[in-house]
Amino acid sequence: MLLEALPFIQQFAGATVVVKYGGAAMTKPELKASFARDIALLKLVGLNPVVVHGGGPDISKYSERLGLDVNFVDGLRVTDEATMELVKMVLIGKINKEIVAQLHVAGIEAVGLSGDDGRLIEARKATSESGDLGFVGDVARINPDILSDLGRFVPVVASVGVDAQGQSYNINADTVAGALGKALDARRVIFLTDVEGVYEDFDDKSTLIGRCSLVDIEAMLEAGDVDKGMIPKLSAVCDALKGGVEAAQIVDGRVPHSVIMELFTEEGLGTMVTRA
């Protein structure tokens, strides 16, 4: 396995890899430990991993405990002022620090960040034809300087942005990962999810696509041949590739060490999308 991985390690040495962390990989203890070891390995063999995370299930859980409404429009959480406060508490104060601690246990140094830190993620209010989303945002600009200055530390980025007036916005973590990949000139952006990858027919799990192009993904989105939950990921894939990222990979985070298997083996694990 190490001999098979060697040419891939050589290929990616010094490269930036953005990993969007989510789904079951964030909730099951054994998968949390597996993910942390994967990121540690990437760092120790010479790559520059950047972790991006959301935390939708935890936000919903704490919203219900506090009696806050949980509503979604077009797959996006309607975020009023009270929910935005909770989003920051859960994403930045809880989940972000848990991931940093897991990486420390795995043997590497990490730093937790959000869009407020160094104005890393400048946001603007998102709009929807279906109604007002509240404090849901889009990425207006990424300021990567703070990440470049971290040196030996692995950045762990919570998907909260801030506008010019200091207002915080809840941003989809897939969107942030794609935007960061573009801004950092990343070689790869990897999206962990709870499916094997992209399917030709999302109702037929035997139609998994191992490799396809940006044009293929754009055609699927245009035709509406995509599961609703996959739309933000595939839109982020398109954004990253158009911004110069070499390839994006959608990987089943329910499989232990899925990041390493996708990057460092010939067969890979999920779906790789390339520019050409």
Query: Residue 97: which domain range?
Result: 14-274
Q: Is 174 exposed, middle or buried (0-12, 13-18, 19+ CB in 10 A)?
A: buried
Q: Is the pLDDT of residue 141 over 90?
A: yes
- Please tell me which residue, 232 or 162, carries the higher pLDDT value: 162
Q: What is the pTM of this model?
A: 0.93
76 in any annotated domain: yes
6 in any annotated domain: no
Cβ proximity of 133 and 73 under 8 Å: yes
Strands 271-274 and 247-252: antiparallel
3 in any annotated domain: no
247 in any annotated domain: yes
Q: How confident is the model at residue 183 (pLDDT cuts 50, 70, 90)?
A: very high
Q: Could you give the number of structural domains in the chain?
A: 1
Q: How confident is the model at residue 162 (pLDDT cuts 50, 70, 90)?
A: very high
59 in any annotated domain: yes
The CATH number covering residue 92 comes to 3.40.1160.10
